[in-house]
Structure 1
Amino acid sequence: MKKIHSNAIASIEFKLSWQSQFASHVDCYFGEKVNFWRDFFPQALQEALLDKTVGDEVEVPLPHDDMILPHSSHNIFTLQRTQFNRRFLHGKILDPRLGRFYPKKFLQNVSGAVKEKLTPFRCIRFDETTLQVDFNHPLAQHTLKLAAKVHEVQGSHEERGGRCNDWVEIMTRNGIGFHSRYENMHTDFFYDDPFARMDWTDDSEFYSTPRLVTHLDAKAIEVITGFYSQFIKPGMKVLDLMSSWKSHLPEKLELADLMGLGLNQEELENNNQLTGYLLHDLNKTPRIPFDDKAFYAVI
């Protein structure tokens, strides 16, 4: 069986775990062609993965260094409210909201904020004339652990050109940490009615036609199934909310009850894991039609 060496190419499942004030978080990323000769890794992770083979898993602490800089008060700035470009998006006016993240390109006359830059900043305080922003990385104050599981080892081969990947940057640049609160203050998610529907057509029209397709790729389904298996145990009663023809639970998991709630009967009838189902439109009647404490878990 092939082992990882300094010139190997491998498929690696990365898991970044961290703790916020209210929850434990695990963010997953699948690297299909991880190049151990060319790509960038934390040194501890690269050393831990050497000589590992398919199925092996390692975990290392992820220090705050050049990849994710430690939190610094020097990255907090007070600006004029007018430096937030409310009209940056064509045809829409946006106001800054407490705790929310925005791309730096929304800012005007600020060092490091250019139109092409999507790097986020956080709005942490404001009044009628000023705006305080935080340029620190969303994970800068959290203790991080990085795990890696080997799925395939391809060995080495001759290369001409190509690109090198910074895997920590790839994992942490697209929203990880955005949902944690700033100094335990509630993030203002609700001012501009974010749950307002763009299309008020009755949901029953959309779901009148069965869609027996998967909306995730095989690797994402594998990750979700593995996540469910950590918390959902044999003998439990589980509610599959907004259910369809797949529940993504482990096939061999024997539950006392798996109830599906959805909008298309044919999709629900094709879900072999369900022990029962109910057609129910939660937009019309936003109350789940079951007794309290009827289920151990809801997915």
Structure 2
Amino acid sequence: MVEFNENSFATIKFTLTWKSGHGIHEEKFLARKVNAWRDFLPEELKEQLEGTKSGESVTVDFSAGAGVPKHELSKVRNIPHRKFKIRSHQFKNQPARTGRFYPQGTLTGLPGVYPQTAIPFRVLDRTGTDIIADLNHPLAKIPFELKSEVINVASKDSETGGRLTHWLEEICNWGPGMQAAPKKQPVDFIHEDFFNRPDDTADASFYSSPRLIGHIDKQASKNLQSIYKRFLSPEMKVLDLMSSMESHLSPDIELDITGLGMNMNELRMNPSLNGKVVQDLNINPELNFKNNTFDAITCSLSIEYLTDPASILKQAHALLAPGGSLLIGISNRWFPSKVTQGWLEMHEFERMGYLLQLAEESGFKGEKGTVSIRNDWRPVTDKHFVSTRGVSDPVYVVWCKKD
């Protein structure tokens, strides 16, 4: 069996695990082609991976500031309000909001920062004249564990030129850490236009014709199933909110599932459902079920359409039996005319932080956390395989336990 070394390529599934004041967070990232000769891996990780074979795994712990740039006070700066500007025409003239992340390109006058700079910074606070901007990496103060599962190893005949990949940057940059809220105060997510939608006509008209298509590719759906499966066991009663033709629940677990959605024809196409309810939660948000009834409540790829999600989550908390799980799955695909403005304003990882905060405010005080899966293989038969370069849609799950 081929061993991982500088004369081989490997496919490695990385799992980064870290904790915040809100819970435990797990980021899965598939490194499709790791070249130990050319790519950059932390020395301690490279040493442990040396000689591993398919099916083996290693784990390395990183102290705060070891795996990503360490926190520096010099990167916390006072920036005059006039030097902050959102350049998107859709969201222009909005002020910086406390706790939110923005691209550094929204700031002017910083050395090495240009309008195209997408590296995030966080607004720690606001004064009458300035915003307090933290330009440190979101994980700069956080220790984390990195597990590396070797999926496949193949020999290489020769070394050719190509792209050098810094794998820890691929895993840690552009998102992980943004779920965590500041310790002193909640994030100021909500504003006057947050729940506005491009098409504010009745949702019943939009969903009157069945849409018998999946929102995400088949591998992404399997990934969503795999996360949900951790919280489910046979014979559980499950409420699938905003359901459709599929529930993203593993078919190998016998569950009693009630689906609540917008179109009965779509619900009838869903083989997982035992019960079906047609209801527009933006018009009629009352969930007419008995309290403490369900062992799990899921909401998959739809919460971004709700104009009062807090009301729904408060009721979900009441409907769950003690110890029950709330599971919210999201991706980066939606119906553009029906998604809320606030959802579009947030980074993909920041949306998980928003949902965690919303859940806490809705009564979920027990265990909670997030899981992300990125860069997986998209099925070669998928019609978007070429345009996505074979990359599966990312999936993100926020989970909360009722205490």
TM-score normalised by L of structure 1: 0.89
1:35-184 pair list within 5 angstroms? 35-65=35-65, 67-85=67-85, 88-90=87-89, 92-184=92-184
**Kindly tell me: are residues 45 and 280 of structure 1, through their superposed partners in 2, closer, same or farther at Cα, counting changes over 3 Å?**
farther
Question: Do the aligned residues in 1 keep the contact of 2:63 with 2:142 (CA within 8 Å)?
Answer: no
**Kindly tell me: are residues 227 and 208 of structure 1, through their superposed partners in 2, closer, same or farther at Cα, counting changes over 3 Å?**
same
For 2:227, the equivalent position in structure 1 comes to: 227
| Structure 2 runs not aligned, ≥5 long | 299-403
| Structure 2: distance between partners of 1:44 and 1:218 | 36
CA root-mean-square deviation: 2.2
| Structure 2: distance between partners of 1:162 and 1:218 | 30
Alignment length, in residue pairs?
A: 297
Identity of aligned residues (%): 36
| Structure 2: distance between partners of 1:275 and 1:57 | 40
For 2:394, the equivalent position in structure 1 comes to: none
- The AA in structure 2 aligned to 1:282 is L
For 1:276, the equivalent position in structure 2 comes to: 275
| Structure 1 runs not aligned, ≥5 long | none
- The AA in structure 1 aligned to 2:122 is R
Which deviates further from its counterpart, 200-209 or 97-106? 200-209
For 1:286, the equivalent position in structure 2 comes to: 285
Query: Are 1:34 and 2:48 counterparts?
Result: no
| Structure 2: distance between partners of 1:104 and 1:244 | 39
- SS of aligned partner of 1:275: strand
1:295 deviation in Å?
0.8
1:21 deviation in Å?
0.7
| Structure 1: distance between partners of 2:56 and 2:189 | 41
**Kindly tell me: are residues 204 and 193 of structure 1, through their superposed partners in 2, closer, same or farther at Cα, counting changes over 3 Å?**
same
TM-score normalised by L of structure 2: 0.68
- The AA in structure 2 aligned to 1:76 is V
The superposition leaves residues 14-36 of structure 1 with CA deviations (integer Å, 9 ceiling, x where unpaired) of 22221111121112222222223
**Kindly tell me: are residues 207 and 10 of structure 1, through their superposed partners in 2, closer, same or farther at Cα, counting changes over 3 Å?**
farther
Q: Report the structure, 1 or 2, having the larger helix content.
A: 2
- Choose 1 or 2 for highest CA Rg: 1
**Kindly tell me: are residues 260 and 48 of structure 1, through their superposed partners in 2, closer, same or farther at Cα, counting changes over 3 Å?**
farther
Which deviates further from its counterpart, 58-67 or 260-269? 58-67
- The AA in structure 2 aligned to 1:81 is H
1:67 deviation in Å?
4.8
| Structure 2: distance between partners of 1:41 and 1:218 | 31
1:2 deviation in Å?
4.1
| Structure 2: distance between partners of 1:59 and 1:269 | 45
1:270 deviation in Å?
2.3
For 2:387, the equivalent position in structure 1 comes to: none
**Kindly tell me: are residues 53 and 206 of structure 1, through their superposed partners in 2, closer, same or farther at Cα, counting changes over 3 Å?**
farther
For 1:191, the equivalent position in structure 2 comes to: 191
